[in-house]
Each structure stands twice: as structure tokens, then as C-alpha cells.
Amino acid sequence: MAFTRKEARDPLVSALLLGAIALILYAIFSAISYYWLFILINVALLYSTTVFLITYWETKDERPPVATRWPSVSVIIPSYNSGRTIRECLEAVKRLEYPKKFEIIIVDDASTDGSLEWLRTQKGITLLERKKNAGKAAALNQALAIAKGEIAACIDSDTFPAPDSLKLMVPYFESGKVGAVCGLVRVHKPHSILQHVQEIEYYVAFGFFHRSQAALDSMFVTPGPMSLYRRKLILELGGYEDGNITEDMEIALRLKNAGYSIVCSTDAHIYTEVPSSFGHWIRQRVRWYRGKIINGLRYKHMLFNFNFGHFGKFVFPFSFFIELMSIIAFSFIIYLNALNVSNSLSWLSVNMVPSVYFPTSPLAIQSSSYFLFLSLCLWAVIVYVSFGIAKERIRLSHLPKIAGFMFLYSFLISFAYLLSYVKELNRSSYQW
């Protein structure tokens, strides 16, 4: 399968489209009060987090399946200019504990940094060399076609799975309806402030929320760092989609569409490198979120479709609703503060110092305080639970990171959502 890109919009059409969106937002912001917007967004957030918390508490004592047999496994690693990480990745893969010998297939996607020359010297691997760079999906498909294992473990070249991760994930395939198994993706050796905040985010997203979504049979992504699949099933479904900027989400949605489940083993810890700078981070997130828009449109028939259970009637559609509410809230705050700054900078201003907008209505202040306190309590519980899932203790050194995640990081995420939707509407070129 190959992803078909839409032609870029004419610059004039793009300008008119963005102008129309700005006018629509302006009309909405002029007509709606801060109070009702705040209420709507917070009720939606509180509802969704409460559902996931209840789901977690109801299923937290469920035990993982016990393997009655150990299927053959092929570990597949696509590699492109990964000289800095491929050695550690390969070492981690060779340390994987498994009752049977497994094959390791590395696909070099026309690297130019010397990593291919090093890979040629390694023993115990099957090395596939591509003469022309074609992307991760094409590399994975080439390996899937020649692999011998019943289970394909697809691992990124900047990822380092814990030794017991493979052995913990494979038993979930005891159920014939399981098409893919994911683990708990964690940040590898964080050092920058942004990476430390992402460490908390990954505990919450890949720990708590993935576990709760799996309990609702509603996972819609098989994380790229490491996921396991029934190899023949993926081939029968057509393989990964070439050119799709989030091929791990597309293949997950295709599995869901075909009636298969995606499950999560949070005991299997998978360490991966994450962006250390804002520029790298925003490029990654825009790619993720634009990929979700693309694949959401592709599989829109699953939205509000009760035939897909909790996934169709709640998890998948509500994820888009929360994103849109975040964009509206972020845009509204920018709009209100822009007005305030504009007024403060007028020639009639006395001190010429712009101020920040805060609600002044007693009703808004009272409701804001109530919802803020309730939201913080729920998110504090989620963060606490997420640390427990990751088998980590909360230490004093974690408190600044948690505060950054809860109070500041959400604005960055909202900005990334907004930028993603604008770029997708504008049909901007895709960047990996």
C-alpha cells in the first residue's frame, strides 16, 4: 500500500482559507463568554479522565496471560543514519530473553553516515541493504516479506527494550483476536528539561492511558519504538502503508477495522530517545498530530460507530473532540490577551505595560477555581497511578517535572495541535 499525498493548495487559496478560519474563531470568541467556554472544556476533560480512571481501577488487578507455547519471533529493525544509536539498540536486542532463538533482521535504508559499514561487520543478523531511501514503512515491509517468525517485533533503531520485554509481550497472542501487542514506552536517559517533562508524559500516555484504552479494547496506535504483530496477518492486510507519516497509527486502525484487538503490557519497558530541543519536539508532534488527522479521515467510518464498541462510540471520537477543545481554548486565551495587550499599548495607555487577561466575573472566578481544583486533583491521581504502573517512586526531584507537565506542557501540546490542523488545512509538505 502507498499513501497518496494531496496537491498543495494555491497560496491565495491558503490565505483565504486561513483568513476565513480566523474570522470564524473571532465570531465565536466575540459571541461566547469565557465562563461557558471554560465550563464546556472542563466538563469534557473531567468526563474523559473519570471514565479512564474508573476503567483502570476496575481492571488493575487483572493478571497477564500465561504462555502455553512460545511462537517463533523475527525482530525487525529499520535503520537510517542511526550510527549514534544502532549499536546500543542491537546490543539491547541481543540481550532479549526468550525461550526460543529468534532472528534479527536489520534493514538499512540507504544510510550515508557509516552505520551500514559497521552493520556489515556484525554477526548473528540478516542485513538487508536498500540502495535508495524509501522510508520506514517500505523497510519494514521488505523485512516482513522474508521473515520466518510467526511474530514480528518491529523496533526503532533509537530504542532499547528491557531484556524481559519480549518474553512479557508474546503471551498476549494466546488470544486469537489479538493482532498486536505494545509495551510501556519510556524516555531513555533524559537530560534536558524538555526530556524530563516528556518522561512524565510518557508514564501517563503510554502507561495509564494505554492501559485504560486496552481495557476498553480501544487502542488506536501501535507505538513505533517497539510493537509486536502477527506477521502473516500484517501481510494479509497489505503491510505498512508506504509514505504514511504515522504508519504505526495507520496499521493499528487497519487492525481495528479488521476486527482485531491491540493490547498493552505495561510490565514490558521499552526505552527510546526523545527530542531534547523544542524545534525537534514540535516537528515530531506536528507529524504525529497531522498523521492522526490523515488517518482519522481515512477511517472516519469508525467514528461514532457502535459496531466498534467503546473505541467507535467513545475513545476515538472523543480524542478528536479533546484536541479541538484544546485548540479553541488556546486560541481564546491568545485572543483575549492580544486584545488586552493592544489596549495597553494604545497611545492613551498610562503605563504602556501590557497585562495578562484573567476572568473578573465572580461567577467565572468561582467556577474556574472549582474546576481547576477538581481537574488538578484528578490529574494528580493519574500521575500518581502512572508512576505506579511504571514501577517508579515519586521523589522530590520529580515535583518540578510534574508541575511543568501539569501546568505548562499542556499549552505546548495545544499549540502543536493548532499548528498541525493549520498545516493540514493548508496542505503543507510533510516532514519526518
Residues 108 and 165 in one domain: yes
Beta-carbon contacts of 85 under 8 Å, excluding residues fewer than 6 positions away, are: 157, 158, 273
Residues 26 and 45 in one domain: yes
The C-alpha cell 508512576 sits at 387
DSSP, res 9? P
Residues 273 and 359 in one domain: no
- For the CA atoms of 227, 230, 235, 239, the dihedral, rounded to the nearest 10 degrees, stands at -20
Question: Residue 347: its pLDDT value, please?
Answer: 45
Q: Is 163 helix (H, G, I), strand (E, B) or coil?
A: coil
Question: Residue 254: its pLDDT value, please?
Answer: 98
Residue type, 81: N
Picking from 302, 328, 350, the residue at the C-terminal end of a domain is: 302
Residue 20 forms part of a structural domain: yes
Residue 65 forms part of a structural domain: no
Q: What percent of the chain has pLDDT over 90?
A: 70
Question: Residue 375: its pLDDT value, please?
Answer: 80
Residue 396 forms part of a structural domain: yes
Residue 4 forms part of a structural domain: no
Residues 97 and 186 in one domain: yes
Picking from 276, 302, 328, the residue at the C-terminal end of a domain is: 302
Burial of 309 (C-beta count, 10 Å sphere; 0-12/13-18/19+)? middle
Question: Residue 356: its pLDDT value, please?
Answer: 47
What residue numbers bound the domain in which 252 lies? 73-302
Residue 3 forms part of a structural domain: no
Residues 335 and 282 in one domain: no
Domain count, the chain: 2
Residues 130 and 23 in one domain: no
- What's the rounded Cα separation, in Å, for the pair 292 and 287? 9
Residues 370 and 244 in one domain: no
- What's the rounded Cα separation, in Å, for the pair 279 and 334? 21
Q: Bridge-partner residues for 265, per DSSP?
A: 183
Q: Is 156 helix (H, G, I), strand (E, B) or coil?
A: coil
Residues 44 and 83 in one domain: no
- What's the rounded Cα separation, in Å, for the pair 394 and 253? 35
Residues 267 and 358 in one domain: no
Residues 295 and 323 in one domain: no
- What's the rounded Cα separation, in Å, for the pair 286 and 413? 10
Question: Residue 25: its pLDDT value, please?
Answer: 72
The CATH number covering residue 80 comes to: 3.90.550.10
Residue 340 forms part of a structural domain: yes
Question: Residue 240: its pLDDT value, please?
Answer: 96
Picking from 268, 284, 302, the residue at the C-terminal end of a domain is: 302
What's the Cα-to-Cα distance from 376 to each of 87, 203, 338, 366, 372, rounded to whole Å? 42, 17, 27, 15, 6
Residues (pLDDT < 70) of the chain are: 1-11, 29, 32-35, 337-369, 431-432
Residue 387 forms part of a structural domain: yes
Rounded to a whole number of angstroms, the CA Rg of the chain reads 23
Contact 409, 417 (CB under 8 A): no
- What's the rounded Cα separation, in Å, for the pair 118 and 120? 5
Residue 395 region, left (φ>0) first, then alpha (ψ -120 to 50), else beta?
beta
Residues 77 and 208 in one domain: yes
Residue 5 forms part of a structural domain: no
Residues 77 and 52 in one domain: no
